[in-house]
Chain A
Amino acid sequence: MYVYDEYDQAIVDQRVNQFRGQTARFLAGQLSDAEFLPLRLQNGLYIQRLAPMLRIAVPYGLLNSTKLRKLAEITRVFDKGYAHVSTRQNIQLNWPRLEEVPDILAELATVQMHAIQTSGNCIRNTTTDQYAGVATDELEDPRPYCEIIRQWSTLHPEFAFLPRKFKIAVCGSREDRAAIYAHDIGIELVANASGEIGCRILAGGGLGRTPVIGSVVCDWLDKKHLLTYLEAILRVYNQNGRRDNKFKARIKILVKAMGVDAFREAVEQEWAAIKDGPATLTEEEIARAKSFFTDPAYLTLDDTAARAGLAQQLGAEPIFGNWVRRNTVEHRVPGYRIVNISLKATGFAPGDITDRQLELVADLADRYAFGEVRSTHQQNLVLADVQMDQLYPLWQELQAAGLATPNLGYLTDIICCPGGDYCSLANAKSIPVAEAIQARFEDLDYLYDLGPIELNISGCMNACGHHHIGHIGILGVDKKGQEFYQVSLGGSQAKDASIGKILGPSFSQSAMPDVIDRILGTYLDLRQEEEVFLDTYRRVGIEPFKERVYAKAD
């Protein structure tokens, strides 16, 4: 994990001071609401329906036990004893007091954390694969590049007042677990013809009102040019992105309007002026960034023996077996597995975690996983390096704390934005819909029989719940002041990314579990052999689902 030196610490500390001054000026009436707005947003502070909301940055989802303990303490002292993992791997507090936010930020700075640029029309937290560095399908660890981008984008003087928010994701593996095609800029580490690894750069992807899959702007870029190239893209966007209509202000609209070829040309022209300049990455800097993401002290383990031991335990205790099969993933190092901690237990808002659970996870991380924890854009947590022969005691402790729901990647592992319960932009609540679906489909045998299904819920067009790329997407809409829900099918966030298609007229909240039931019933009737939901949908199309869902009861 990256460790601050005196420069990083000075920047974060000075930012806290700056925001303390801004907050004091606002409270003294010297800054208007409109003036304070972008300043507080760039420090993660929203004013929401019920209270302010503070979004704390978790750069590319990487945490450790010290940070978790500090977060737990902050939720206790300044909030209501729980936090929420967002779909951008960040951590949100739902009940901070505005006057105390500078103190919260000062506390965070003591553990090398901040809330810089977690909101506002600027470059946001860069996200990546939650299995970075341990995945079996990885070409190269994306985290050093994420950290390089984090530093470059932090307090960037030129790009703090962009037309709209700007999100970057990096992926270094065969399977795309970072949804790079749905980002303003997506970066994929790829090898060129001679085997050298560089960056493929996509631009203009995004969700929201007009979902678009990103286009390739550069097929292969030498890593040393990464920052100057990003700078050129941002510069074209900052000068030419629309500022007259906030719904047309994202870079995806600019890329569409110019056409990707003209956009690329404009970028290359900007780039020519700064290419090979001082912002060109040095080999030493790349090596320095990499030095923070080296292997922990793995033991040399006998993989065959470890697997045999585990198989025995699985047979002896089926509930444990379910959890291992669903919530743990192959690790590239023999004798280890990646453990997902599901924050999707029935009866709790997806992604919520209490102060005690945060502390427990910190302890478990120290005892079982080299003290490191990750957050995921599916709103779960990960312990990336657990010995196979330690899975059983770890599971027992997670189980006792309600953190071992074996549903990772299944229907009830719902991605869900805070929605109308918290968010002032919402058209409709999203958490009660998630909870009703989780309660209705709690039966694990049924869930496993359905196979992997991604169900995503957003409370409005802003699409924080990524509903467009859910296999099943649910979007809260407002119909004459009433909360309704529009359903879409067939979205995907994988490398074969696709945007879901709208099923038809929207439904009331109480109808939603039945609607989902009919969609699942259609799939179960039509699926062939080993097909998963998305395969069946792609083969048969939306019609059979439509017919069944909207059929009149006879």
Chain B
Amino acid sequence: MPKLIKRGQIVDDPWQRVDPDANANATGEHQILSLEQWLQLPEKSGRAVQLEPGQAPSPLFEHLDQIPLVAVYFPVFTDGRGFSYGRELREHGYKGELRASGHFLREQLSYLHRCGFDAFLMEDEPSLEEALPRLADFSEYYQASIDQPLPLFRRRG
């Protein structure tokens, strides 16, 4: 089973992408659907979905408490749209697994984490053990973010 970083641990990943052309209704447990497939589902409860760059998360907003996992895909590490998607999902109250997947770097883990991501499926990372500590590159930040909703100016002593 492939591994990923989840809530600060390296764990097995039971989830799989579904062929985007498959009939969504025929798919089973632990499968991640494309947005198109997911939107067609009559019953969305318990079904995971992946957003690609250009697919803003707003169609998910009214179902957030039913979704166990949202994956945000990074085709290249320089495409930063997913950072905003993650943050918007959390700001709208999403509590489930928020996964970054695809081609991003361990250098980006701390920023992704601050934008609300709690799981990281890294296609280009040879050592998750070495990548893991990079979640904590910084102990302090200025801005309000998902992991620290108060900006520094409301926390300074």
We find that the number of chain A residues with CB closer than 8 angstroms to chain B is 39
* Interface contact A273-B83, CB-CB below 8 Å: no
* Interface contact B115-A282, CB-CB below 8 Å: no
* Interface contact B81-A238, CB-CB below 8 Å: yes
Of A39, A158, A279, A285, which contacts B84 at CB under 8 A?
A: A158
* Interface contact A11-B81, CB-CB below 8 Å: no
| Interface check B31, CB cutoff 8 A | no
Query: Do most interface residues of chain B lie in helix, strand or loop, or is the interface mixed?
Result: loop
| Interface check B15, CB cutoff 8 A | no
* Interface contact B152-A162, CB-CB below 8 Å: no
* Interface contact A152-B83, CB-CB below 8 Å: no
* Interface contact A157-B111, CB-CB below 8 Å: yes
| Interface check A288, CB cutoff 8 A | yes
* Interface contact B79-A18, CB-CB below 8 Å: no
Q: In the complex the two chains form, what is the Cα distance from A282 to B150 in whole Å?
A: 12
Contact with B along A95-115 (1 / 0, CB 8 A): 000000000000000000000
* Interface contact B84-A238, CB-CB below 8 Å: yes
Closest residue of B by beta carbon distance from A18: B137
Contact with A along B137-157 (1 / 0, CB 8 A): 111111111000111111010
Q: In the complex the two chains form, what is the Cα distance from A516 to B153 in whole Å?
A: 52
Known contacts A160-B111, A274-B91: does B84 contact A151 (CB below 8 Å)?
no
| Interface check B105, CB cutoff 8 A | yes
- Nearest CB of chain B from residue A521's CB, rounded to whole Å: 50
- Nearest CB of chain A from residue B96's CB, rounded to whole Å: 19
| Interface check A10, CB cutoff 8 A | yes
| Interface check A195, CB cutoff 8 A | no
Residues of A within 8 A of B77 (CB): 35, 38, 161
Of A7, A38, A159, A160, which contacts B152 at CB under 8 A?
A: A7
* Interface contact A282-B105, CB-CB below 8 Å: no
Of A35, A273, A281, which contacts B91 at CB under 8 A?
A: A273
| Interface check B80, CB cutoff 8 A | yes
* Interface contact B79-A152, CB-CB below 8 Å: no
* Interface contact B80-A278, CB-CB below 8 Å: no
Known contacts A22-B107, A157-B115, A278-B144: does B137 contact A14 (CB below 8 Å)?
yes
Q: In the complex the two chains form, what is the Cα distance from A243 to B54 in whole Å?
A: 10
| Interface check A5, CB cutoff 8 A | yes
Residues of A within 8 A of B152 (CB): 7, 151
| Interface check A155, CB cutoff 8 A | yes
Our count of residue pairs bridging A and B at CB distance below 8 angstroms stands at: 106
We find that the number of chain B residues with CB closer than 8 angstroms to chain A is 38
| Interface check B37, CB cutoff 8 A | no
Of B85, B105, B111, B140, which contacts A10 at CB under 8 A?
A: B140
Q: In the complex the two chains form, what is the Cα distance from A281 to B124 in whole Å?
A: 40
| Interface check A544, CB cutoff 8 A | no
Closest residue of B by beta carbon distance from A243: B79
* Interface contact B139-A10, CB-CB below 8 Å: yes
Residues of A within 8 A of B107 (CB): 18, 22, 35, 39
- Nearest CB of chain B from residue A454's CB, rounded to whole Å: 36
Of B53, B105, B115, B139, which contacts A158 at CB under 8 A?
A: B115
Q: Pick the most buried of B91, B145, B154: most chain A CB atoms within 10 A of its CB.
A: B154
* Interface contact A282-B56, CB-CB below 8 Å: no
- Nearest CB of chain B from residue A244's CB, rounded to whole Å: 10
Chain B residues engaging chain A, CB cutoff 8 angstroms: 53, 56, 77-81, 83-85, 87-88, 91-92, 105, 107-108, 110-112, 114-115, 137-145, 149-154, 156
25 intermolecular pairs with C-beta atoms under 8 Å apart: A7-B156, A11-B140, A11-B141, A31-B105, A35-B77, A121-B80, A151-B153, A152-B151, A155-B111, A157-B141, A157-B143, A159-B83, A160-B80, A160-B111, A161-B78, A227-B151, A238-B80, A239-B85, A243-B53, A243-B81, A273-B88, A273-B92, A278-B144, A278-B154, A285-B154
